[in-house]
A and B are shown apart, each in its own frame.
Chain A
Amino acid sequence: MTSSQTTDPNVTGIGTSRQRPDAVAKARGEFEYATDLLEKDMLWGATRRSPHPYARIKKVNLNRAKEMPGVHAVLGAWDVPDNRFGAINNDQPVLVDDYARYVGEPIAIVAAEDPELARRAANAIEIEYEPLVPIIDPLDALAKGKIHRHVKYSFGDPTVVGEIQVEGEYFTARQDHSFMAPDAGMARPDGHGGVEIIGATQWVHADRFQIAASLGLPEEKVLVVNSGVGGAFGGRVSMTWQIHGALLAMHTNRPVKFLYSRKEAFHARYHRHPSRIWIRHHATKEGKLLKVEAKVLYEGGPYSHTSAAGIGNGCTLIQGPYNIPNADIEGWAVATNNGMCGPLRGFGVLQGVFACESNLDKLARKLNMDPAKLRAVNAIKRGDQWIFRQIQDRPTPVQEIIEKCSAMPLPPDLPSDEGKIHPVHLPGGIASPTGKKYIKRGIGFTSAVKNVCLSEGAPVNATAMITLRDGAAVIECAAAEVGQGFVTIACQIVQTVLGISEVRIERVDTSMPAAATTDGSQQTVTSGTAVQVAAQTLKERFLKFVAREHNLDVNTLDMKDNFVIDKTGKKFTSIAEAGMGLIFRATEKFSQRNTRPIDDMESNDPVHVTLGFSANRCVVDVDTELGLVKVVQMDVVQDVGRVVNPVQAHGQIEGGAVQGMGLGLMEHLKAEDGHLLNPDWRGYHIPTIVDAPTINSEFVSYPEPGYHFGWKGIAELPHVQAPASVLAALRNATGLELPMAPATPEYVANVLDDNEAMAMNVASGDKKRGPWKVPPPPPQTGPWVSDA
């Protein structure tokens, strides 16, 4: 596919790179984000948090804080009408009442006239703790039965043994979302006994449901408004300050603003599940895959959050985009006290794909086979069965993607004259101590699969309402815009269906019917489809009206270029005039096909709504002494269905690939004894403009059945496979196994030095090699409540 690589405010409709509707405001700094909200008479909120990973709360005394001048409210757990909430299960306290189970867990909240006063008052709260021994090692959690979910299934003949077998144990670290705008927002009383929450979220309706429940209010008394969202990447699926803000606003009858510091955001929010996966592939001598076996261990936080869905994703898509006739899979999401874990772009799948791809690298080496060829030979095809008992019933261009990606041009070598190399191209970047003679180039190749939409029985649907008046349309659809560009494509869809150019989308709040959550790459295919269906219904209504008014046959009419046209394309009258000043409106709901939990053996529904595929070839330069790495280039080919906005699609791939490269090379949120060691951007590094490689992305585009325009969700795949690809390239350059992401310089250097103790220094966990022994899981899963 060729596509213009720049945007244009004047192009309209599906397939064009229309400029984002918010681009001008954003470039001028006038777009309002949740952090920017200010209000007359507002108070500032602050949160007192647990300094212990696990402790019994013996006493909380708010009085000293309450007496401070300028302090308007100080609240503890007993002030919360229903003190349990959660992303899926209500198992998490709004404010700690009995036990604090991670460092940073909120215990009490304050509203004061000034942010500094609020902080000081929060510090003045007296809390007595009885520190308890935390669980910090996921293997320990497993042995103790602290299990959120246990998955076990097999496929085909699990006793099959291949001529060739390779196995390994692979690890991925705790990754932070590090979106640019920290958690913030405003809660204000609505003057009629209810409350309004204006913040940044991926799903206003899920927030409203939980806020109302915790406050003991009917849902209609809570209005959740999405203001500008400064990035999300899965990190705004569950709430942080919102219920606290609502409580304080109700108590003080004043607007209350929350604004987390970066460090507070690191502690208050969840992160990507660290993983430890043992995997064994069986294959023929020719490289045909026969069986996959895996033990998958995800470290979840102390509360269930979304861990069950994450381990489900990992235990299914560890298959990779390959046809494998036999499988034996077992996995656990366990509870530790190292902080909360939850969705991050590529939720649960990234870890499985990392293990799968890393082990296939090993297989390719063992067979002395080109890694791209090994993958192409095993590429899953339409009609094949997934190991989780689902027919691959939609376009499956895996082999094509792999071949296309391998054929993309490679970057030139570093110039042989050292003086000609700009320092930004060196491993280690500007001021790097490296020298050309230490630098080795490596190339890695991976392919990947990701589920599009939430899976395993989660309902996925959206409602959209469109209003047409005087030839211009307004869309109301509660799908959260977090930067991904739904606001652009929703307008493009309506432009195409109604044949008009002027379309606008309203700001999102809970007075609208619910749309899908911005999650699982599902917004285009779900809320986008709802918008398309609503526009289609609106078009039929409008043309029926025009036909009646003018005594015409409705079947001869269409809408194009802002005109009502007849069959021959002749312009009849402008759409603006034909509407005669009246308002035309349509509301439609779209639901994705049903899915079933992995272990539901009765239903024949699929586990995943649909699946997307991609390939990534990564080129790195490595300083083989110091372990410094420069990712030179990433070439990505992705199955994207029908593209709505090519530049936005490329943008998703580029951004996702660099974020994934972050986990491949540097992003490692470390925990020691339950305390985060590097909870800010001084210690937790995300890729900079120097680190970012050149990214070339190309599309493979087959219309996806089930959607009128054949689109497909794309946003997560580039992130999912980048860590595996970076590591594959590093292995190629160094000849080392490197089983862990990220491959930080210290890690690579230590492996190079054969320093095994350092080499396996994963955040939590020991050096035991899998498959490890585990006791049978207890009948009761879910977060534990200590019996201490």
Chain B
Amino acid sequence: MSTDERIDYTLKINGKPYKVENAFYSENLLHVLRYRLGLTGTKYGCEHGQCGACTVHIDGKAVCSCMELAACAVGCEITTIEGYNNQDGTLNRLQESFVKHAALQCGYCTPGFIMSAAKFIEENPNCTEDQVREGMDGNLCRCTGYNRIIEAIKEAAEVRK
């Protein structure tokens, strides 16, 4: 396909169909989510897969949406922070833990961290600090120095007896 080609397609995001019209084939999912569909909870940090601010779930996996061509995500189940959030406006356990431990300052990295950590703690209940460090290595934060993010994720991963 040429770089000038424009196409229409439908993405399934947070359980709902979203029509994308007249988009360049080359547009990545992050751009389409944010600027064509207005789903700006997913953050734009580097657009080259280095920071994790753009993390979404595609078919149950946490991925950097800036590294996915939007047109190739047709047919996938995409979940963004908007769909992951409790729909009544409250915080879930992981988000509450971030807030309680002051794991955010400017907060720009936070939605990406939440989306990555949600998958991470699903797969690593009762994780240790070392496991958090290893498993969350794809997300950058410039404000907090990470200590509180680790605390927050560890506490959220504790399985209640």
Contacts and interface: CB of A to CB of B under 8 A. Distances in A.
Interface of A: 5-8, 17, 19-20, 22-24, 26-33, 35-36, 38, 115-116, 177-182, 228-233, 259, 261-262, 422-425, 430, 482-485, 647-648, 650-651, 654-659, 680-682, 686-690, 692, 694-695
Contacts of A658: 145-146
Nearest to A114: B24
Interface in B104-123: 104-111, 114
A181 B108 contact: yes
6 contacts: A27-B98, A179-B142, A180-B43, A181-B108, A657-B145, A688-B137
B40 interface: yes
Given A680-B48, A694-B147, A23 B106 contact: no
A484 B105 contact: yes
Contact of A6 (B91, B101, B132, B133): B101
Interface of B: 24, 26-27, 31, 34-35, 38, 40-48, 50-51, 53, 80-82, 85, 89, 91, 95-96, 98-102, 104-111, 114, 130, 132-134, 136-137, 139-150
Contacts of A430: 134, 137
B134 A424 contact: yes
Given A27-B95, A230-B106, A261-B47, 17 more contacts: A26-B107, A28-B85, A38-B35, A38-B40, A116-B26, A116-B27, A177-B142, A229-B106, A422-B130, A648-B102, A654-B145, A654-B148, A655-B142, A659-B145, A688-B140, A692-B145, A695-B145
B106 A181 contact: yes
Contacts of B132: 689
Contacts of B148: 651, 654
Contacts of B130: 422, 424-425
B104 to A, nearest CB: 5
Q: Taking chain B's interface residues, is the majority helix, strand, or loop, or is none over half, making it mixed?
A: loop
B103 to A, nearest CB: 9
B46 A262 contact: yes
A680 B101 CA distance: 30
A485 B105 contact: yes
Given A430-B137, A680-B50, A681-B140, A7 B42 contact: no
A31 B105 CA distance: 12
Leading 5 A-B pairs by shortest Cβ distance: A483-B106, A29-B41, A26-B107, A230-B108, A654-B145
B116 to A, nearest CB: 10
Given A29-B42, A181-B45, A23 B133 contact: no
Contacts of B145: 651, 654-659, 692, 695
Given A7-B99, A654-B144, A657-B145, A231 B106 contact: yes
B147 A423 contact: no
A690 B134 contact: yes
A726 to B, nearest CB: 14
Contacts of A689: 132-133, 136-137, 139, 141, 146, 149-150
Given A180-B140, A259-B44, A422-B134, A26 B110 contact: yes
A764 B89 CA distance: 53
Among B31, B35, B145: residue with most chain A CB under 10 A? B145
Contacts of A648: 102
Nearest to A645: B102
Contacts of B105: 231, 483-485, 651, 655
A690 B137 CA distance: 6
A35 B137 CA distance: 24
B139 to A, nearest CB: 7
Contacts of B50: 680-682
A336 B27 CA distance: 38
A485 to B, nearest CB: 7
B30 to A, nearest CB: 11
B142 A29 contact: no
Given A651-B148, A682-B48, A28 B95 contact: yes
Contact of B40 (A24, A36, A115, A232): A36
A486 to B, nearest CB: 11
Contacts of A655: 105, 142-145
Given A33-B108, A689-B137, A27 B91 contact: yes
Contacts of B41: 28-30
B142 A681 contact: no
B98 A38 contact: no
Nearest to B34: A36
A688 B135 CA distance: 12
Contact of A182 (B44, B96, B134, B140): B44
Contacts of B35: 38, 115
Given A28-B81, A424-B133, A181 B147 contact: no
A430 B136 CA distance: 12
A236 B95 CA distance: 29
Contacts of B110: 26-27, 29
Contacts of A6: 100-102
Contacts of A422: 130, 134
Contacts of B136: 689
Nearest to B45: A180
B51 to A, nearest CB: 6
